[in-house]
């Protein structure tokens, strides 16, 4: 890993980002990561650098890197870089506009600008939709809009923010839901005072959703006696089956089939909520930064990060309900599990947070390092539906990476790289006032390590190598360790003493072993339930990964079809050009014998004229040389025979007249041909 980190550092140290490191409302993030590829935006060179993270064992010289020049129409400073789920489109987000370009095009790529700057509204945040690779959602201060690439002139969806939340409560961020129910089709909007609103359902055109997931929604609405929603979902399934080629080919019985969904009604949902479950002391602090969501069994978790370094963990205790009403009074059952205080210095600025599903943890980036919040205790209770015990649980906080407060570097990019062998975080720092950059990759091994006691935490600003000890507590060894076989005293001498000793041993064993066995049974049942819940979670994760893979394959197939169609169109244009060329050659009239003879005679006259002019030039040169030899005081005027000169002049005039006559004949013949 150190060799790979040094290799990437050697690649990017020569880059000059050309950043304006000024304070702005939009967090700065010039890196993004999809799969095993890292994307870095170079502002000064106006280019996108793509690096393959899998080449960790290669030398710096052989590190695979691709540079994509970008032609931008408007040179606003880029604040964020976003890549879609298929890695085919990139969005450059600034506080004034958004520009999108295609990564599948070889060579320089032209940017297409979004037409969202209306009524002086600025850009708050932009994100690609996880189920529609070409749908870009843009949040402004008044609405949430969805644009479909390449049609970026008008939004496909425009969701107006509720009047109860605007303009007093300014929006700062949004995220997409990740649950197994309607939460997967929700969009959560975060306001500056940490209030959360949402829209549900939000389905852009050409969304790729699993057939089994849609059928579960339909069955749930039918069970809840909501016939209208069940019919609406069934209509979506029918439209998706009609627009999916695999189903038309006879794969309609495949429950895992991914459908290309189209919404059957023209209007879109409005706000659900708001979720006003925070204490009144935090109601108007206006310090919220970002929001993320996560699925925990049948429930949805929301994580909100503030500028002070606090993470609000909220739980949706009941599933989301689709609404088509304006400013609905429906308030879902949401309560705050915990307010995690990272205890950062007052001068520390928080940037973003990311949820790592594989290890049930939240990664928080800030000015002086990284903190990890381990949520594993919460998940164990939520998967077992033991919500009453959540109030007594506290999450574990691990300061993974800390810098000195005097460090002049500024974090301008961050991402989480998930691999089969572990999880790493990629950090991009800007140094020398934004003119150069440095990159580092840090393994998040603390996610699987034993928690460190609070008393052993180092002072802030001091790096610490924490112990990485894998600890497994099976909850049964402590019970069996308490069993002790009673030591026998001296052998009894009488039958009564022997019977009394045997009765004592049986009583002791009965009092010790039977409760231990019962406790072990309870522990085994609890573990079996936990394993079943964990298995269900893993199945849902595999299904989600399958849907994502299907979406990527569908997008690649669509691109392949488009390339094939373009190749056929190019062949057709070439054939048409050849036909037009042959047609023009066929329409050219053939010369007659008289015209060919006249053309040949004209060429001969031109050659003769050139010969005569050459003779005249030679005579003039000879006369000039002869005049020079006679000297300055010679009285003769010329050495050329006047008779010979007159003959040459007469022949030249005759040739000129004949050439003019032939030209007039040729012009008259051309005029007659054009009239015909």
pLDDT at 458: 37
Q: Is residue 215 part of a domain?
A: yes
- The number of domains in the chain is 3
Same domain, 493 and 562: yes
pLDDT at 119: 46
pLDDT at 254: 46
Q: How far are the Cα atoms of 333, 403, 407, 671 from residue 350, in angstroms, in the given order?
A: 29, 14, 16, 83
Same domain, 482 and 564: yes
pLDDT at 466: 31
Q: Is residue 459 part of a domain?
A: no
Confidence of residue 127 (pLDDT cuts 50, 70, 90): very high
Confidence of residue 250 (pLDDT cuts 50, 70, 90): very low
Report the candidate in 83, 94, 97 with the shortest Cα–Cα distance to residue 51. Answer: 83
Q: How far are the Cα atoms of 139, 144, 146, 166, 549 from residue 160, in angstroms, in the given order?
A: 10, 6, 12, 10, 33
391/393 Cα distance (integer angstroms): 6
Average pLDDT over residues 635-644: 58
Same domain, 561 and 497: yes
Average pLDDT over residues 607-635: 68
Residue % of the chain over a pLDDT of 90: 1
- Choose the final residue of a domain: 569, 602, 617: 569
Give the residue, 227 or 293, on which the prediction is more confident.
293
Q: Is residue 538 part of a domain?
A: yes
Same domain, 489 and 563: yes
317 with 299: CB under 8 angstroms?
yes
Altogether, the residues listed in the chain come to a count of 676
Q: Which of 218-227, 333-342, 390-399 has the lowest mean pLDDT?
A: 218-227
pLDDT at position 17 over 70: no
448 with 356: CB under 8 angstroms?
no
* Burial class of residue 512, CB neighbours in 10 A (0-12, 13-18, 19+): middle
127 with 137: CB under 8 angstroms?
yes
114 with 138: CB under 8 angstroms?
yes
pLDDT at 472: 33
Q: Which of 63-77, 83-97, 217-231 has the lowest mean pLDDT?
A: 217-231
Same domain, 490 and 542: yes
Q: Is residue 357 part of a domain?
A: no
Give the residue, 7 or 191, on which the prediction is more confident.
191
pLDDT at 115: 59
Same domain, 597 and 669: yes
Give the residue, 347 or 330, on which the prediction is more confident.
347
Q: Residue 600 is part of which domain span?
A: 593-630+638-675
Q: pTM of the full predicted structure?
A: 0.62
Q: Is residue 46 part of a domain?
A: no
DSSP single-letter state for residue 151: B
pLDDT at position 440 over 80: no
pLDDT at position 624 over 60: yes
Q: Is residue 303 part of a domain?
A: no
Q: Mean pLDDT in the chain?
A: 69
pLDDT at 21: 45
**Position of tokens 């409005």?**
270
80/86 Cα distance (integer angstroms): 18
118/129 Cα distance (integer angstroms): 23
- Choose the final residue of a domain: 554, 569, 584: 569
494/377 Cα distance (integer angstroms): 57
DSSP single-letter state for residue 281: G
541/548 Cα distance (integer angstroms): 10
pLDDT at 486: 46
Q: Which of 453-467, 504-518, 605-619 has the lowest mean pLDDT?
A: 453-467
Q: Is residue 328 part of a domain?
A: no
Q: Is residue 224 part of a domain?
A: yes
Give the residue, 536 or 163, on which the prediction is more confident.
536
pLDDT at 169: 64
Rg (CA), the chain: 41
301/294 Cα distance (integer angstroms): 5
235/237 Cα distance (integer angstroms): 5
- Choose the final residue of a domain: 217, 242, 262: 262
Same domain, 614 and 530: no
109 with 103: CB under 8 angstroms?
yes
Average pLDDT over residues 268-279: 43
pLDDT at position 299 over 70: yes
């Amino acid at each position: 890993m150190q060799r790979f980190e040094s290799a990437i550092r050697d690649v990017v140290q020569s880059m000059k980002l050309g950043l304006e490191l000024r304070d702005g409302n939009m967090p700065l993030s010039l890196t993004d990561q999809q799969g095993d590829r890292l994307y870095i935006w170079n502002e000064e060179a106006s280019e996108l650098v793509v690096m393959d993270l899998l080449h960790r064992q290669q030398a710096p010289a052989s590190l695979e890197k691709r540079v994509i020049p970008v032609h931008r129409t408007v040179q606003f400073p880029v604040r964020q870089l976003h890549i879609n789920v298929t890695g085919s489109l990139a969005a450059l987000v600034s506080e004034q506009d958004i520009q999108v370009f295609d990564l599948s095009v070889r060579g320089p790529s032209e940017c297409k600008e979004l037409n969202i700057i209306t009524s002086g509204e600025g850009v708050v945040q932009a994100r690609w939709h996880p189920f529609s690779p070409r749908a870009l959602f843009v949040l402004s201060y008044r609405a949430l809009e969805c644009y479909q690439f390449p049609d970026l002139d008008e939004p496909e969806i425009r969701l107006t923010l509720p009047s109860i939340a605007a303009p007093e409560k300014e929006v700062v961020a949004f995220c997409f839901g990740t649950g197994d129910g309607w939460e997967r089709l929700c969009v959560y909007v975060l306001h500056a005072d940490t209030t959360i609103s949402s829209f549900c359902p939000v389905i852009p055109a050409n969304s790729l959703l699993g057939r089994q997931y849609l059928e579960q929604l339909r069955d749930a609405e039918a069970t809840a006696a909501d016939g209208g929603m069940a019919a609406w979902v069934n209509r979506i399934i029918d439209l998706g089956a009609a627009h999916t080629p695999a189903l038309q080919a006879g794969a309609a019985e495949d429950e895992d089939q991914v459908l290309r969904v189209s919404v059957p009604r023209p209007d879109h949902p409005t706000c659900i909520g708001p979720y006003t479950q925070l204490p009144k002391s935090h109601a108007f602090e206006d310090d919220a930064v970002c929001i993320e969501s996560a699925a925990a069994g049948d429930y949805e978790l929301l994580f909100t990060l503030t500028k002070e370094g606090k993470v609000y963990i909220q739980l949706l205790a009941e599933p989301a309900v689709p609404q088509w009403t304006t400013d609905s009074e429906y308030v879902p059952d949401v309560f705050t599990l915990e307010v995690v205080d990272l205890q950062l210095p007052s001068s520390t600025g928080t940037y973003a947070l990311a949820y790592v599903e594989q290890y049930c943890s939240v990664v928080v980036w800030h000015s002086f390092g990284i903190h990890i919040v381990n949520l594993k205790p919460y998940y164990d209770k939520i998967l077992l539906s033991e919500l009453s015990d959540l109030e007594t649980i506290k999450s574990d906080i691990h300061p993974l990476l800390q810098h000195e407060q005097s460090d002049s570097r500024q974090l301008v990019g961050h991402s989480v790289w998930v691999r089969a062998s572990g999880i790493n975080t990629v950090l991009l720092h800007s140094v020398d006032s934004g003119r150069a950059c440095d990159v580092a990759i840090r393994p998040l091994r603390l996610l699987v390590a034993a928690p460190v006691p609070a008393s052993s935490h180092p002072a802030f600003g001091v790096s610490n190598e924490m112990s990485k000890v894998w600890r497994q507590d099976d909850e049964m060894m402590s019970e069996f360790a308490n069993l002790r076989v009673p030591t026998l005293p001296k052998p009894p001498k009488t039958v009564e003493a022997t019977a009394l000793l045997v009765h004592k041993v049986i009583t002791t064993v009965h009092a010790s072993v039977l409760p231990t066995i019962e406790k072990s049974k309870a522990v085994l049942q609890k573990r079996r339930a936990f394993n079943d819940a964990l298995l269900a979670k893993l199945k849902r994760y595999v299904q989600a990964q399958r849907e994502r893979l299907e979406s990527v394959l569908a997008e690649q197939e669509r691109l392949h079809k488009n390339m094939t169609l373009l190749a056929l169109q190019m062949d057709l244009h070439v054939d048409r050009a050849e036909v037009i060329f042959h047609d023009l050659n066929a329409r050219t009239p053939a010369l007659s014998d008289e015209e060919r003879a006249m053309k040949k005679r004209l060429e001969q006259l031109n050659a003769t004229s050139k010969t005569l002019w050459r003779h005249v030039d030679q005579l003039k040169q000879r006369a000039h040389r002869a005049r020079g030899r006679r000297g300055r005081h010679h009285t003769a005027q010329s050495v050329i025979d006047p008779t010979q000169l007159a003959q040459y002049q007469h022949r030249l005039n005759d040739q000129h007249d004949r050439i003019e006559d032939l030209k007039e004949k040729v012009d008259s013949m051309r005029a007659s041909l054009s009239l015909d």
